[in-house]
Structure 1
Amino acid sequence: MRLPILLSVLLLTNSCSKKADVQLQEIPSVAGDNSSLPSLYTDNTGTVFMSWVEEKEQLAELKYATLVNSTWSEASVISADSTWFLNWADYPSIIGKDGQPMAAHWLNKKPGGTYAYDVNISAYNSEWTDKIIPHQDETATEHGFLSMLPASDSTFMAVWLDGRKTAGRDHHEYADLSKAMTLRGAIIDRKGQIIEKFLIDDSVCDCCNTSLAKTESGFIVNYRNRTEDEVRDIYSSVFRDGSWSEPKVVYKDNWEIAACPVNGPAIDAQNRIVATSWFTGANGQAKVQLGISNDYGITYDAVISVDDQDAIGRTDILMNDDKIWVSWLSSVDDSGQLNLASYSLNGEPLKQYSIPNISGKRSTGFPQITTSDRGILIAFTDVSEEQKRIRMFELK
């Protein structure tokens, strides 16, 4: 069933590659049957972590494995339950440091509403700690779209969308920004203790993912904002000297939309350079954009249209070997296509690769990319057959 797709991938790759030894090819997935919601993370040692969910009847298991020296470890279970909130866009994640896990997160339903759920975080300190709820409020509202990164050897930063102000909000009150979704954060240690909490923005888009990067200057978070005029462009805030800066727009797409598009940004950093990719539907035109900053994300010197033809979005980004890599989904001939494009650090387009015949439906989720000793890894949920399963590709 995979061979025709793999051949078409290689043909597309070879047609746009100047080096015959550069190939995008499918590799065996470490995830098992009925798997979905992959999340990839490469730590400071080059160890790749992948977390994912496997469902067995009513039970969901959050698993992870590591890739070292081109070999995957055995899959291990972080947590399992039948009460989780499993969502194509708001997926669990894992981070690591020094070759070991540092923390993982997932979402747990709570009584009170269809979208009432808590963020659960388990830190790793020789073993997985009991889960904590970082937002610590009791409202039956939405909490999710979390991003996290190591802050030190013993602590990590987490940011998430927090719906505590939306508690009891009626439909006609949706335009009242005093009852809007908020963006909050916390510093947490390996024992699962919350060191400090932050309010970053008091009015943000309800269900677009956040993205967190760390520069030499500090953390930077990108997310979709929400203004009184229902303009929902990408904003950023920088964490320096113990506090988050006043949020400001990354680029004025001026996308006015009175609903959440469920299509947030991705960000990565290398020294002074920060790169961010995002989807916009401003002026009725679907686009994936790439912004490049040379001053730690304070200003963006270049904003490039990556795809202004058939973009679906759901973008990811990474920086390595003085290149910027952007992935996104697009619609081609009534089917979905996963794209991977490289750019120089000043925004010059280099190469593009494509994996065709992928569903553009929500169940495909948000494809993930990261670096490894084998090149660039790609993971996504394949829903083309009766049972969903995570598929993996690598670009050598």
Structure 2
Amino acid sequence: MNSKLFLSLSIIFLIIGCNPNNGITVNEISSPVSQNSSLPRLYTDNTGTVFMSWVEEVDNMSYLKFSSFSNNTWSKPKTVTSDSTWFVNWADYPSVIANDGSPMAAHWLNKVVGGTYAYHINMSVYNEEWSPAFTSHQDNTPTEHGFVSMTPASDSTYAAIWLDGRQTHDREDDEYSDLNKAMTLRGAIINTNAEILEKFLIDDSVCDCCNTSITKTENGFLAAYRDRTDEEIRDIYVTSYVDGVWSEPKPVHADNWSIGACPVNGPAVDASGNTAAVAWFTGAEGTPHVQFAISKDHGQNFQPPISLDNDSPLGRVDLNITESKIWVSWLSPTDNGAKLNIKVYTLDGEELSSKTVNGLSRSRSSGFPHITELGAGLMIAYTDVTGEIPTVRTLILE
């Protein structure tokens, strides 16, 4: 199909999928990626500049690239690093964070000998150029280390959390229920000289492969993730980092979802002022649904959850808080694929408007759509797998 015709049809698809009566518009903009691109991740820094990272694959090589968006234009893409030994996965994707209009740190995953899910976290920090790769976890067991979330802590430091499988080393299949051999949640404070200043064990039993999320608050940091109890309850937990200490993890809400495996569907957290919010997917009581909850004390206590979708959604949530609004997104199935749902709320939980973007895929290869603050609206990025070659697409919602 002619590329211009395909773009026109894509825009038409988006317009058809939008409710024209709620004052929100969605427009596709030219993406900075090349073909065979996927795994987009968005980040808005303290200057309001939007950064997007993604992966491009050529032959057996993978390239982690990024671009920044200003004056309604994406900058020329730059490559952080490339290799043929990466672990490239639809749910466990690389990222780039930024500060003061410049990239700050990046992460990606490198395979190691030892099993299908044996891989380590590689990080690089930016000081006019990208540093040599280093590992945040400093653990060499051939186990899973991934699902990283990062956020700046200061002009020269950042916080990172990740799932760490060192306790699962040599775990037999019949030992899966032994929580002494469970996946753990760990973290670190790292500076832009690639020095690990502090290391933490945050939770010693968590879900094996749900993405994590972290945000900076006025008090420190707030992290959200899917926990795992000895009764196989896998609800969303939060913990706060204040004055150098992580608080005792606790559930955002007691969904009591009992599931003996990982749903690969983690939470999203964000904060602004004293308001924090967490969005998540759950299958509690046999009913898949998406919900979010608001806190007015930096994530120490959460109000009862607000239901977003109980009509068998796919999940894959994201959430963004501005000074006056909470934006939440998630995927739900359609007859021909999937749609991206976006709802806008006040900081007190009053629904303001909603929007739907059609034409997405429900397949795992489509990954996790991302949203991030762009002025008074949002930037949206997702992987389009409806054609022969996957392509990252970017949209602006205003």
Aligned to 1:104: 106
1:41 aligns with 2:43: yes
* CA–CA separation in structure 1 for the residues paired with 2:346 and 2:375: 21
Consecutive unaligned residues in structure 1, runs of 5 or more = none
State percent identity of aligned pairs.
54
Aligned to 1:141: 143
* CA–CA separation in structure 2 for the residues paired with 1:258 and 1:158: 27
Contact 1:359 1:383 in 2 (8 A): yes
* CA–CA separation in structure 2 for the residues paired with 1:164 and 1:267: 26
Matching residue within 242, 246, 253 for 1:251: 253
Aligned to 1:379: 381
* CA–CA separation in structure 1 for the residues paired with 2:10 and 2:128: 42
Aligned to 1:113: 115
Deviation at 1:71, TM superposition (A): 2.1
* 1:324-339 equivalent positions in 2, closer than 5 A: 324-339=326-341
Deviation at 1:14, TM superposition (A): 4.0
* CA–CA separation in structure 1 for the residues paired with 2:44 and 2:324: 17
SS at match of 2:331: strand
Displacement over 6 Å in runs of 4+: none
1:344 aligns with 2:346: yes
The AA in structure 2 aligned to 1:77 is T
Aligned to 1:74: 76
Contact 2:17 2:358 in 1 (8 A): no
* CA–CA separation in structure 2 for the residues paired with 1:262 and 1:178: 21
The AA in structure 1 aligned to 2:117 is Y
Query: How many residues of Structure 1 are paired with residues of Structure 2 in the alignment?
Result: 393
SS at match of 1:137: coil
Aligned to 2:325: 323
* 1:163-202 equivalent positions in 2, closer than 5 A: 163-202=165-204
CA RMSD of aligned residues (A): 1.1
The AA in structure 2 aligned to 1:238 is S
* 1:1-396 equivalent positions in 2, closer than 5 A: 1-17=6-22, 19=23, 22-373=24-375, 375-396=377-398
Contact 1:367 1:378 in 2 (8 A): yes
* CA–CA separation in structure 2 for the residues paired with 1:174 and 1:332: 35
Deviation at 1:358, TM superposition (A): 1.1
SS at match of 1:172: helix
The AA in structure 2 aligned to 1:86 is V
Deviations 1:197-250 (A, max 9, x none): 000000000000000011101101000000000000000110011111111111
Deviation at 1:6, TM superposition (A): 2.3
Deviations 1:53-102 (A, max 9, x none): 00000010000111122221110000000000000000000101001110
Deviation at 1:319, TM superposition (A): 0.9
Contact 1:273 1:297 in 2 (8 A): yes
Deviation at 1:374, TM superposition (A): 7.3
SS at match of 1:311: coil
Deviation at 1:124, TM superposition (A): 0.7
Consecutive unaligned residues in structure 2, runs of 5 or more = 1-5
SS at match of 1:13: coil
Contact 2:267 2:279 in 1 (8 A): yes
Deviations 1:255-290 (A, max 9, x none): 000000000000000100001100000111111111
SS at match of 2:387: coil
Contact 1:16 1:353 in 2 (8 A): no
* CA–CA separation in structure 2 for the residues paired with 1:26 and 1:334: 21
Contact 1:150 1:157 in 2 (8 A): yes
* CA–CA separation in structure 1 for the residues paired with 2:9 and 2:349: 34
Q: For the structure 1 residues 375 and 289, does the alpha-carbon distance in structure 2 shift closer, same or farther, using more than 3 Å as the test?
A: same
* CA–CA separation in structure 2 for the residues paired with 1:367 and 1:377: 11
Contact 1:16 1:352 in 2 (8 A): no
Give the TM-score of the pair, scaled to structure 2: 0.97
Deviation at 1:334, TM superposition (A): 4.4
Give the TM-score of the pair, scaled to structure 1: 0.97
Deviations 1:354-373 (A, max 9, x none): 11121101001010101124
Contact 1:288 1:305 in 2 (8 A): yes
